[in-house]
């Protein structure tokens, strides 16, 4: 069977309120499965635990949240809810929302600039920009605009849509290009503004989401580099779309006698919370264990877990199933809510800037969400101390 290594040769602003202030749009510190069948299961055989499977290392992180902050108490005036219900069921206490005139591209580019600054990388040295988002300003994609805004004039840029798994999928995708030698430096940005797409009359969804973006700089790593991607795994299962979706809902429009097309916009977010909750608490521990197994590691080897920030109860259950103390789980959803593709890098940025995560630490990162989609990677952080 062809090994994954061989296959690859053919593929060709937070530190948040808990630490350093994150970047804001205003520039001030604000708050700122797929089914398994055709899978090539064999992985490059590496005898020693914790050796990078992908020669790609994360060396800088940044984030940005919009200045407008809305608390649970504020939402009590909008829908039939209480601060107590939201905090107890989700762990969320506030969220940051894009105001009219503020854009996803701006959020993404501010986060990217902060990540480049931390990494000490010049924008013109970036070869690849991936913007993971499901709420772009432009349905044709925001990545090229973000590359322009940050000055990544030599990079190819494209969007990646995988909802709350998008950032994790982006890291794993960019790392393939770095591992196979096609590119040397990549910028992966995750961000969403789901405030644009929630039904603000639906208390079961509108209290959950916030807007924000985060970014990481990845560099090609040497074979003997200590930092890198030690293990990774991704899945999706379209059968779960019924449980979480944001579907096109155009109306028929007749073009004279010639044809009838559909014209219009998208619906609002529809979610079966209970089923998504069960999906997350089942699949996330499993995929983390899969990524750890590829790294020849166990949960005992993890310094930090950085999960998609959807619900503190999901994080507690995942930590329990992994056998990891909540002290090792990075979370800031109390401040930002569920920022979809932005949530992992927002939390990562805060933890790095506050000094929690240090160079050489082993991180287990997991994303999950609409698709349904889910994935994980185990990395050794490669950023220099600030
Ligand atoms: N305030 C007060 N009451 C509420 C609210 C609210 N905001 N929302 C729902 N309720 C009520 C319900 O109507 C229900 O009332 P009833 O018992 O009288 O019928 C009761 O609270 C319980 O509702 P549940 O939906 O069963 O509440 P649950 O404890 O399951 O929590 C939640 C709901 C928070 C959504 C949870 O299911 C969850 O976190 N699910 C996972 C969401 C997720 O992880 N999404 C990630 C992906 S996001 C993406 O990819 C874009």
195 pLDDT higher than 80: yes
203 pLDDT higher than 60: yes
Q: Which mutation among 273, 367, 368 tests ligand 1's pocket best, with the greatest number of atoms within 8 A of CB?
A: 273
Q: Return the closest-CA partner of residue 215 out of 303, 321, 344.
A: 344
For residue 163, which atom of ligand 1 is closest to its CA? 50
- pLDDT of 223 reads 85
Instruction: Compute, in angstroms, the gap from residue 245 CA to the centroid of ligand 1.
Output: 16
The answer to whether the CB of 369 falls within 8 A of the CB of 160 is: no
Q: Return the closest-CA partner of residue 172 out of 125, 233, 127.
A: 233
Which segment of 16-30, 105-119, 271-285, 343-357 scores lowest on mean pLDDT?
Answer: 16-30
- pLDDT of 230 reads 95
Instruction: Compute, in angstroms, the gap from residue 204 CA to the centroid of ligand 1.
Output: 5
The answer to whether the CB of 127 falls within 8 A of the CB of 154 is: yes
Helix (H, G, I), strand (E, B) or coil at 217: strand
Instruction: Compute, in angstroms, the gap from residue 81 CA to the centroid of ligand 1.
Output: 11
Helix (H, G, I), strand (E, B) or coil at 305: strand
Alpha helices per DSSP H over the chain: 4-8, 72-76, 83-90, 104-119, 143-150, 166-179, 203-206, 273-294, 312-322, 333-336, 343-353
The continuous run of DSSP H or E covering 380 comes out as strand 373-380
Specify whether the backbone of 85 is left (phi greater than 0), alpha (psi in -120 to 50) or beta: alpha
Q: Where are the domains of the chain?
A: 56-240+270-380
Residues with CB under 6 A from ligand 1: 81, 85-86, 89-90, 163-164, 203-204, 207, 244, 273-274, 276-277, 280, 310-311, 314, 338, 340, 369-370
Q: Which mutation among 274, 281, 337 tests ligand 1's pocket best, with the greatest number of atoms within 8 A of CB?
A: 274
Mean pLDDT within 371-381: 97
- Cβ neighbours around 369 below 10 Å, total: 25
Mean pLDDT within 145-163: 98
- Cβ neighbours around 231 below 10 Å, total: 24
96 pLDDT higher than 60: yes
287 pLDDT higher than 50: yes
Q: Which CATH number fits domain 56-240+270-380: 3.40.640.10, 3.40.47.10, 3.30.830.10, 3.40.1360.10?
A: 3.40.47.10
- pLDDT of 53 reads 83
Instruction: Compute, in angstroms, the gap from residue 303 CA to the centroid of ligand 1.
Output: 31
Mean pLDDT within 174-186: 97
Question: What distance in Å separates the CA atoms of residue 339 and residue 62, rounded to the nearest whole number?
Answer: 15
Known catalytic residues?
164, 308, 338
- Cβ neighbours around 278 below 10 Å, total: 12
Specify whether the backbone of 365 is left (phi greater than 0), alpha (psi in -120 to 50) or beta: beta
Instruction: Compute, in angstroms, the gap from residue 277 CA to the centroid of ligand 1.
Output: 9
Give the total residue count for the chain: 386
- pLDDT of 224 reads 86
For residue 204, which atom of ligand 1 is closest to its CA? 8
Q: Which mutation among 77, 135, 161, 204 tests ligand 1's pocket best, with the greatest number of atoms within 8 A of CB?
A: 204
Give Cβ neighbours of residue 123 (< 8 Å, ≥ 6 apart): 113, 116, 150, 151, 152, 153
Q: pLDDT tens for residues 215-268?
A: 999 999 998 888 999 999 999 999 999 999 999 999 999 999 999 999 999 999
Helix axes 343-353, 104-119, angle to 10 degrees: 40
Give 54's DSSP letter: B
């Amino acid at each position: 069977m062809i090994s994954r290594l061989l296959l690859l040769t053919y593929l060709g602003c937070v530190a948040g309120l808990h630490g350093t202030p994150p970047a804001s749009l205003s520039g001030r510190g604000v708050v700122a499965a797929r089914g398994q069948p055709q899978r090539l299961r064999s992985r490059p055989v590496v005898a020693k635990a914790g050796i990078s499977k992908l020669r790609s290392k994360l060396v800088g992180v940044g984030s940005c949240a919009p200045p407008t902050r809305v608390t649970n108490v504020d939402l009590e005036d909008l829908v039939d809810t209480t601060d107590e219900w939201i905090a107890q069921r989700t762990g969320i206490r506030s969220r940051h929302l894009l105001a009219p005139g503020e854009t996803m591209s701006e959020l993404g580019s501010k986060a990217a600039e902060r990540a480049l600054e931390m990494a000490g990388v010049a924008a013109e040295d970036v070869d690849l920009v991936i913007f993971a988002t499901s709420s772009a300003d432009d349905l044709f994609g925001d990545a090229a605009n973000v590359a322009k805004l940050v000055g990544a004039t030599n990079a190819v840029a494209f969007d990646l849509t995988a909802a709350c798994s998008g950032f994790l999928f982006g890291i794993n995708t960019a790392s393939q290009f770095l591992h196979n030698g096609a590119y040397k430096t990549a910028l992966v940005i995750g961000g969403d503004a789901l405030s644009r797409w929630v039904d603000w009359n639906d208390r079961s969804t509108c209290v959950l989401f916030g807007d924000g973006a985060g970014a990481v700089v990845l560099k090609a790593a040497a074979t003997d580099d200590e930092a890198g991607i030690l293990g990774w795994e991704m899945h999706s299962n379209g059968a779960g779309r019924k449980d979480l979706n944001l579907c096109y809902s155009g109306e028929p429009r007749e073009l004279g006698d010639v044809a009838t097309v559909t014209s219009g916009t998208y619906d609002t977010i529809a979610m079966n919370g209970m089923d998504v909750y069960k999906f997350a608490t089942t699949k996330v521990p499993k995929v983390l264990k899969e990524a750890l197994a590829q790294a020849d590691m166990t949960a005992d080897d993890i310094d930090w877990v950085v999960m998609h920030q959807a619900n503190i109860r999901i994080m507690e259950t995942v930590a329990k199933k992994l056998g990891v103390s909540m002290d090792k789980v990075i979370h800031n959803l109390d401040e930002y809510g569920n920022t979809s593709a932005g949530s992992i890098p927002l939390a990562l940025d805060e933890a790095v800037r506050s000094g929690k995560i240090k160079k050489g630490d082993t991180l287990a990162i997991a994303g999950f969400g609409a698709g349904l989609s889910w994935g994980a990677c185990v990395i050794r952080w490669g950023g220099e101390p600030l």
